[in-house]
A = this chain, B = another copy of it.
Amino acid sequence: MPTVKRDTYTPDSLLSVAVRVFNERGYDGTSMEHLSRAAGISKSSIYHHVRGKEELLRRGISRALDGLFGILDEPAAREGRAVDRLEHVTRRTVEVLMAELPYVTLLLRVRGNTDTEVWAMGRRRDFDQRVAELVKQAAAEGDLRADVDARLATRLLFGMINSIAEWYRPERAGAGAGPGAGAGVLDASAEVADAVLRTAFAGLRTG
């Protein structure tokens, strides 16, 4: 049987192509034909890997959610004063967003009505809710100012964090290809996380 190109995709590499196309065209605007062209393999080869595009959406979003919920299980997110746990979760959320940029971008853009999209929006709300609980607890412990509503503070904090996906592009962050590029991404991620922590928790004003 003839194929467009020999199918050497792994589940992860096919997912990476699909998520890129979803982010470029929007999930609704992406057909199996678009995925087939972007991957350079036939539609039937794609069906060999997955049941359809919704499975690719679910896998892409799961990767983002696994990274984000994984943060909440880290010791520094579970032990200590709420404000310190909140700062840890904030830093790590920035790091996961930047390390898993295409997958988190996909999660953040989900708006639709398929089962997978409804599920993704629910899981995202669960994560926001867990962070909102930390904000409330930190305020109750007297470590966060009382004159900003906890729900509003959480929204503004996520507004700042999630906006990073709008402008951060890893290819610009590193010092080009080669051994230094990976370290460049890590440095950028630490610098951005520091800036978010300083802005949100200590404030930009000096005096």
A residues adjacent to B (C-beta < 8 A): 83, 142-145, 147-149, 152-153, 155-164, 166-167, 191-192, 194-196, 198-207
Q: Is the CB of A155 within 8 A of B148?
A: no
Contact yes or no, B203 A203, CB < 8 A: yes
The count of identical subunits is: 2
Assuming the A-B contacts A162-B163, A200-B199, are A206 and B144 also in contact, with contact meaning beta carbons closer than 8 angstroms in the complex?
A: yes
Chain B residues closer than 8 Å to A196, beta-carbon distance: 156
A30 to chain B, nearest CB (A): 14
Q: CA separation between A204 and B196, bound complex, in Å?
A: 12
User: Roughly how many angstroms separate A148 CA and B199 CA in the complex, as a whole number?
Assistant: 8
Quick check: A164 and B153 within 8 Å, CB to CB? no
Q: Assuming A144-B205, A145-B206, A152-B191, what are 9 further A-B pairs, CB within 8 angstroms?
A: A83-B205, A145-B205, A155-B164, A155-B167, A156-B195, A159-B159, A159-B160, A199-B200, A200-B203
